[in-house]
Amino acid sequence: MISAGKVIKCKAAVLWGLKQPFSIEEVEVAPPKAYEVRIKILATGICRTDDHVVSGAMTTKFPVIVGHEASGIVESIGEGVTTVKPGDKVIPLFLPQCGKCSSCINPNGNFCVKADVTGKGVLSDGTTRFTCKGQPVYHFMNTSTFTEYTVVEETSVAKIDAAAPPEKVCLIGCGFSTGYGAAMNTAKVTPGSTCVVFGLGGVGLSVIMGCKSAGASRIIGIDLNKEKFDKAKSVGATECINSKDYTKPINDVLSEMTDNSVGYTFEAVGHLETMVDALASCHMSYGTSVVVGVPPSSKMLTYDPMLLFTGRTWKGCVFGGWKSRDDIPKLVSDFMAKKFDLDQLITHVLPFDKINEGFDLLRKGESIRSVLLM
């Protein structure tokens, strides 16, 4: 491409500070260095994790370009890149797969050491590829997709089917894969089991889809917003409840509803209290509870260890347990083969410059997933 090796000027949504709106700015995107890839973003989803940066629940440096759930086309590659080439359709990966660290090598691990969860905001050489108004702009989770062009490391990109619709498969970059994999990979839901999902946003609905695919016979959705119940049932929930409708603890309610048979619970909210509720709600002897929602930064959790002593299993889950570079192309192929339907998760499709409107919809609980088109 004629832009290869040159700085690209393009539009990006820059977040200049905490609790500020996104500002559409002209930014300069430097060419990729060795083992880096520059991507033209085609579509990007608005995820609750992005809003955690705005609120301060997730640590980052400012100014920053957030966004981490996207699809795009490779514009150019740096020296040494061998797994993708210009013109390839790709999904940027907020969870890299270096293939060398202990997590990548172990078949049961996926939390690569190259993941940026501490908000350092730079690539491996310690610098950023973004500049705006003469000052550096930081990266977010190795991806930064709220921009027309971004630069990621080769370990943070997966080549996908060229025919895949970008406005749909972008969800495989985070929300869908995280929830679906929590049921399929992390919990390993068994046929005929009873599952409970706390939080019916995009990730929670994807958990329900995973539980259904795994053969669960009863799937109970829990949310404070009853407007989400119909959508949850349409993707596989057998029933939905609002915990505020009961005076007794939700774990007691669920025990009575299911004759004490809840095998799996999933916390897809990111609230400390809900994590403990979810743990207490699975069977005391054989239940498994999975933390799927991103916990708030620098917070400590207090719980009764007797909840675990009796036999429960408490597990964490990042990106659904998938090996990102290996598994994302397979998930896209499964989507193309109609093994699951992403349309049910997309409630709004907006032009990129309507990004603040998309976040308003998220905060008001009026959207499941808003997708921004570049």
pLDDT of residue 1: 64
Global confidence as pTM: 0.94
Please say whether the beta carbons of 14 and 342 come within 8 A. no
pLDDT of residue 298: 66
At residue 76, φ and ψ (nearest 5 deg) are -160, 165
| pLDDT tens digits, 126-162 | 999 999 999 999 999 999 999 999 999 999 999 999 9
Rounded to whole angstroms, how far apart are CA atoms 322 and 234?
A: 25
Q: Of residues 56 and 313, which shows the higher confidence score?
A: 313
- Strands 194-198 and 262-267 come out as parallel
Residue 117 pLDDT level (bands cut at 50, 70, 90): confident
Average pLDDT over residues 5-19: 96
pLDDT of residue 119: 87
pLDDT of residue 92: 98
CB atoms within 10 A of CB 344: 16
Nearest to 30 by CA among 13, 5, 12: 5
Dihedral class, residue 142 (left if φ above 0, else alpha if ψ from -120 to 50, else beta)? left
Domain range annotation of the chain: 176-320, 342-373
Q: Tell me which fold the domain 176-320 belongs to.
A: Rossmann fold (3.40.50)
pLDDT of residue 108: 93
Contacts of residue 108, Cβ cutoff 8 Å, sequence gap at least 6: none
Supply the mean pLDDT for the chain: 96
At residue 88, φ and ψ (nearest 5 deg) are -70, 140
- Strands 36-45 and 369-373 come out as antiparallel
| pLDDT tens digits, 244-286 | 999 999 999 999 999 999 999 999 998 899 999 999 999 999 9
Cβ contacts of 314-318, under 8 Å, gap ≥ 24: 314/279, 314/288, 314/289, 315/186, 315/187, 315/288, 315/289, 315/290, 315/291, 316/290, 316/291, 317/178, 317/181, 317/182, 317/185, 317/186, 317/290, 317/291, 317/292, 318/95, 318/110, 318/111, 318/115, 318/178
- Given a cut of 80, whether residue 352 has pLDDT beyond it is yes
pLDDT of residue 296: 74
As a whole-number percent, the residues of the chain with pLDDT over 90 amount to: 92
| pLDDT tens digits, 33-87 | 999 999 999 999 999 899 999 998 888 999 999 999 999 999 999 999 999 999 9
| pLDDT tens digits, 250-260 | 999 999 999 99
